[in-house]
Amino acid sequence: MNRRIALKNIAIITGSTFILPYGCDFETGIVYSNFTSLKKKHLNLIASISEFILPSDMKNFPTPENRLHFIMTMANDCLLKKERKLFEEGFEFFQLSLSSERNERFEKLQINQKQEFILKGIESNKPEIKMFLNFIKEFSILHFETSENYMKNYLNFEFMPGRYNGKVQV
């Protein structure tokens, strides 16, 4: 009798070890404390909206973090509670309008369809969608403007400690 229970337990353990990788997501992602409800597919949608508004060029304008991480960090840490609520509501309304209008994913739409959809969102009667898209646009531009190449070559910014002129006549 004990042998049957032992074999049964071994079979359960073996089966669960084979099923475990399919049921669990072992990818560790960044958790944003104020946006715990956002899943990976939601973050991918935000990234694709941002890429459509302002395409990133990591070759010419490299930044230490990717744009999605920058946008979500700014939204998580810098927005007020009221603004974060508007951001989440705008994202939900954006998803609802996307799913009601088309059954496709935003990433798979053609460029002119994306442009039409974004413009409809900006011109819509829902202020939440407009605020959401404005936050994405502002953070995308800010991410671009904080790249080292842009700051050095276009703003003539000098990083710390700055220029040192040791032999200057007084």
C-alpha separations of 143 from 65, 73, 109, 162 in Å: 9, 11, 25, 23
Instruction: Kindly indicate the confidence band of residue 126, based on its pLDDT and cuts at 50, 70 and 90.
Output: confident
pTM (2 decimals)?
0.73
Query: Where is average pLDDT lowest: 25-34, 42-51, 62-71, 81-90?
Result: 25-34
Instruction: Kindly indicate the confidence band of residue 85, based on its pLDDT and cuts at 50, 70 and 90.
Output: very high
Count of all residues that appear for the chain in the document: 170
Instruction: Kindly indicate the confidence band of residue 13, based on its pLDDT and cuts at 50, 70 and 90.
Output: confident
Query: Where is average pLDDT lowest: 2-16, 71-85, 136-150?
Result: 2-16
Chain centroid, CA 42 distance in Å: 8
- Confidence at residue 94, expressed as pLDDT on a 0 to 100 scale: 85
- Confidence at residue 21, expressed as pLDDT on a 0 to 100 scale: 66
Report how far residue 136's alpha carbon sits from residue 122's, in angstroms, rounded to the nearest whole number.
12
Tokens of 46: 């935000």
Contact 73, 111 (CB under 8 A): no
Q: pLDDT for 94-120, tens place per residue?
A: 888 777 665 567 767 777 877 777 777
- Confidence at residue 101, expressed as pLDDT on a 0 to 100 scale: 61
- Confidence at residue 117, expressed as pLDDT on a 0 to 100 scale: 76
- Report the pLDDT averaged over residues 29-39: 83
Answer yes or no: is pLDDT of 12 > 90.
no
- Confidence at residue 24, expressed as pLDDT on a 0 to 100 scale: 65
